[in-house]
Amino acid sequence: MSIEFHCSSCNRLIRAPRETAGKRGKCPYCKQSVYIPLPADELEEIPLAPVNESDEQRRKRLRSEDIALAARVDHETREAPDAPASSSAAAAESAMPAPRGDSALDVEEEIIRYVMAMRDSRLGEAEDVATRLRRAGRRARQEIERMQLDEVPPAGLEGIPPGLLKGFLRTLGERLG
């Protein structure tokens, strides 16, 4: 019995012997190299990776905290109509408690430095940045969690693949405890 599939170049129907499945061959019509697929009855299902329940719970908790904060900011903005108009991000920042610990440290900037150092294999520099971030404590961990949930990477990290970025952030979060 033969395998039937369409050429990825010329889209013509090709019949190939079953023993060539999983290999590459040439299309008899356009001579382009094509992959000869496995027959459907020989395909085995690849199981999905299990969902990390703690990550899902943390994501849900952070999402509900964001919604509660946005509602509080919205409510406060409506109560004070004489207040100058400001963006919701600025209003959310002003509603947050003042940071504790090393207040001069720009946590997001330091996290970006850490990711760039890791990307460039400058491990000593990454360790120094992680030490500074450890002093920021809870504020650093919250910023890492926020960056992990953001769909759009912060300015300066756009060129890093999302999986790699999330891996660096997860590693940093684990290092900070």
pLDDT digits (tens, 9 = 90+) for 63-88: 888 888 888 887 777 766 554 444 44
The per-residue pLDDT for range 79-113, each reduced to its tens digit, is 665 544 444 444 444 433 334 444 446 888 999 99
Q: Is pTM beyond 0.85 here?
A: no
pLDDT value of residue 148: 86
pLDDT in tens, 1-50: 789 999 999 999 999 998 999 899 999 999 999 999 988 777 777 788 88
Q: Is the pLDDT of residue 167 over 80?
A: yes
- Residue 25: what pLDDT? 94
Note whether 77 and 91 are within 8 A (CB). Answer: yes
Using DSSP's 3-state secondary structure scheme, residue 13 falls into: strand
pLDDT at 80: 61
Decide: 41 and 58 in contact? Cβ < 8 Å: no
Q: How far apart are the first and last CA of the chain?
A: 59
The per-residue pLDDT for 177 is: 80
Asked whether residue 170 carries a pLDDT value surpassing 80, the answer given is yes
Mean pLDDT of 134-162: 86
- Tell which wins on pLDDT, 55 or 43: 55
User: Residue 163's pLDDT band (boundaries 50, 70, 90)?
Assistant: confident
Q: Could you identify the residue written with the tokens 């003042």?
A: 98
Q: Would you tell me the crossing angle of helices 107-119 and 123-136 to the nearest 10 degrees? A: 160
Strands (E), the chain: 2-6, 13-17, 24-26, 33-35
Tokens describing residue 109: 């900037």
Residue 89's pLDDT is 43
